[in-house]
Amino acid sequence: MKKTEVHKLLGDKTTMLEEMINASPSCLKVIDVRGRLLHMNTRGLNLIEAKDIDSVILADVYSIVHEDHRDNFIKFNEKICSGEKGTLIFEIIGLEGTKRWMESYASPYPLDNGELAHIAITNDITQKINFQKELENKEKLIHESSKLASLGKLAGGIAHEINNPLTIISGKAQQLYKKINEEDIDPLFFQQSIEKIDDTVKRISKIILGLRTFSHKGHELEMTIISLGDVIEETLDLCMEKFKSKGTEVRINLDENIMIKGCKIQLSQVFINLLNNSFDEIQDNQQPWIEIKAQKLRGEVHITVTDSGDGIPKENQENLMAPFYTTKEVGEGTGLGLSISMGIIKSHQGLFYYNPQSDNTQFVISLPLASSLKKAS
């Protein structure tokens, strides 16, 4: 009864259509505007795990589309049945519970009752989607590995960052203890000492917070409106004592109130990587220095990270941003830092490049200001 009804809708084209679709290695199907299955070839029946066409003819196709994709599929079917063409990637759950990713190329198909139906060539792309997911997971692992490697290089400096404030706290505590034993209670001295201890504890807390923030996983990344000054300040909290201990001067020159839309964790990683690279390269300089400069220019912030080095040799500049390219000794670098940094800045709609025109070693970052992004949207 159902099959006869469908044959009436498809008209004299039925025989030709059946011969064509049953010879195809792809799923070919016809669906009406209400989402009912009018026809499907053998390949399609295998994909949805149906034993034959009689068992699913006029069945609700929407019911086998994964609930996360169902609304999109319904809109897509309505679009095709209104006369448009289109492509859709979606997930289905077969009649026996197997999940598959499908890619469908659809066009309108006239029925004998005057309605338009949805005819489509659909391919199983589950392996392709799984492969893409596997690549994404590997990229995330590489990203995390590079981030931890950058932080690991600062481990020696972190000891200075924590030990110096602890020394201050210990010294102040001993002074207070001595004053109490001598019964020399000077309220102003006690107040100033307590304030110094409190400020130093806050500094240690900032360092620990910076470390915790830097170690967050990829799924915790979030794009928000942030202060560039805060990003740079919190990054420097992780390494300033290391630079001081080696006599490396750090210069900061920022326009006030630079607000950008970005992920603080990722941008910190970019600056950590550039600071690490600079620190490694300029240790033999008599007066090593690093300068971070940022200024607003026509809806963007132009950031330069410059050090006292003499620049990168021309023969190394071409491959500078290539993954796994490094001029360091084996075991000294992953060759991923600059490549990942460029990817991070690109994801922030910005530019990242080495400036060969500078007299010193200089990298440039351009990012849109938050106000420009609001206007653009």
Domain residue spans of the chain = 2-124, 136-376
> Quick one: DSSP state of residue 87?
E
Q: Is the pTM of this model over 0.95?
A: no
Are 325 and 315 a contacting pair, CB within 8 Å? no
Per-residue tens of pLDDT for the chain, all 377 residues: 455 665 556 555 555 556 666 777 899 999 999 999 998 898 999 999 999 988 999 999 999 999 999 999 999 999 999 999 999 999 999 999 999 999 999 999 999 888 999 999 999 999 999 888 887 777 676 666 655 555 555 555 555 556 666 777 777 778 777 778 777 777 887 887 788 787 777 666 666 655 555 555 544 457 889 999 988 988 887 777 778 878 889 999 988 789 999 888 788 888 988 888 888 888 888 889 999 999 998 889 999 999 998 888 887 767 666 554 455 543 444 445 677 788 889 889 999 998 999 989 999 999 999 875 554 44
Determine the CATH number of domain 136-376: 3.30.565.10
Q: Which helix (H) or strand (E) holds 68?
A: helix 67-81
Q: How far apart, in whole angstroms, are the C-alpha atoms of residue 255 and residue 145? A: 33
CATH superfamily ID and name for 2-124 = PAS domain (3.30.450.20)
Long-range contacts of 279-282 (CB under 8 A, 24+ apart): 279/239, 279/242, 279/243, 279/246, 279/248, 280/328, 280/332, 281/307, 281/309, 281/361, 282/248, 282/307, 282/308, 282/309
Are 31 and 77 a contacting pair, CB within 8 Å? yes
Q: Is the dihedral of CA 20, 23, 25, 28 positive or negative?
A: positive
Residue whose pair of structure tokens reads 């929407």 in the numeric block: 62
Q: How far apart, in whole angstroms, are the C-alpha atoms of residue 146 and residue 236? A: 19
